[in-house]
Amino acid sequence: MIEQPPKGSAEIEACAAAWLERKNFTPWSNADQSELDVWLGASWAHRVEFWRLETAWNRMERLTALRAPRAENAPEARRRLMPALRKVAGAMVLAGVTGAAAYSYFSVPGDTRYATALGERKVLKLADGSSIELNTATSLRVSHDKAHRTVWLEKGEAYFDIKHDAARPFTVLVGSRRVTDLGTKFSIRKSNSEIKVALVEGLARVDPAEPSAHPSSAVLSPGDVAIATAGSLKVIRKPEQELRDELGWRRGMLVFVHATLADVAAEFNRYNDTKLVITDPDAATRRIGATFPAQDVDDFAALAKTVLRLHVEKKGNRIFISR
């Protein structure tokens, strides 16, 4: 029997690896599964670390070479398993910080709300080395103590660069979904109708916030984008360049690749008091590819007039565009 581990991150990792060894290299019974379920249910940190190592195991290129061995070779195989798992899982834990116009630091336990105004960006740096970057018109709440790190994304969009710690799981609650860091860089955007989670590096797990509400879950790899609505969850793949383009807001830029004017207007309107209004269907479906500073709505209007030869008229804080 595997004993309940202490709360330290290294010991949780060791215990999770021991469970994975036992499950893959010894006969596995319903009683064993029940015992594992008890251990997993004892702590969210247990579940996060087991998921992380199990995902690493499934992704290992040498999985077929490490399948259940003959009985006489089992002890040696088990000795090789933990270092191999740790090497793969360790490669998933990535950290870093990127700049933005405003910074806010917090390092003591608490429950604090942060927000950005229209067109504003802000970076929150946690004492553990993690960071959260808020995009325009975003509101979130952060709670952290010795056991947990939790964020509630109430509206808007944020980029997360998280330092993994199995003893202090990092989770983001957004709408009806829970996103759990497994050593990760990812973005989350919440709109009225859907939640989009884009995985840049590492791994993240998307689950229902309430287990009984939505049965679907997914573990995301780099390039995966999870799109969740009230009753569904789907995962699509996007090229690395497309993900970088969508994160152009982190450097204050909007990148459009073969985008309709309707989509361009909607994106500019997220950042500016001056709103673009496309007044006819023909103009709305015209497509462009260009990069603009997020707040240079007037430059875009000038391009629409001189390059696309559309009619542009400004009235107050509205710019009307038509054929």
What does the DSSP assignment read for 157-220?
A: EEEEE----TTS-EEEEETTEEEEEEEEEEEEEE-SS-EEEEEEEEEEEEEESSTTT----EEE
Predicted confidence at residue 97, as pLDDT, reads 32
> When comparing pLDDT for 5 and 302, which is higher?
302
Q: Mean per-residue pLDDT for 137-163?
A: 91
> When comparing pLDDT for 18 and 68, which is higher?
18
**3 state DSSP class of 11:** helix
Predicted confidence at residue 43, as pLDDT, reads 77
Q: Mean per-residue pLDDT for 57-83?
A: 47
Residue 179 sits in the same domain as residue 281: no
Residue 281 sits in the same domain as residue 193: no
Q: Mean per-residue pLDDT for 296-303?
A: 89
User: pLDDT-derived band of residue 64, with 50, 70 and 90 as boundaries?
Assistant: very low
The parent domain of residue 220 ranges over: 103-243
Examine residue 98 and state whether it is found in any structural domain, yes or no. no
Residue 139 sits in the same domain as residue 234: yes
Pairing of strands 233-237, 224-228: antiparallel
Q: Mean per-residue pLDDT for 271-275?
A: 95
Residue 230 sits in the same domain as residue 149: yes
Residue 132 sits in the same domain as residue 225: yes
With a cut of 60, say whether residue 100 has pLDDT above it. Answer: no
Q: Mean per-residue pLDDT for 225-243?
A: 92
Predicted confidence at residue 61, as pLDDT, reads 37
Whole-number percent of the chain with pLDDT over 90: 44
Q: Mean per-residue pLDDT for 117-140?
A: 92
With a cut of 50, say whether residue 309 has pLDDT above it. Answer: yes
Predicted confidence at residue 108, as pLDDT, reads 43
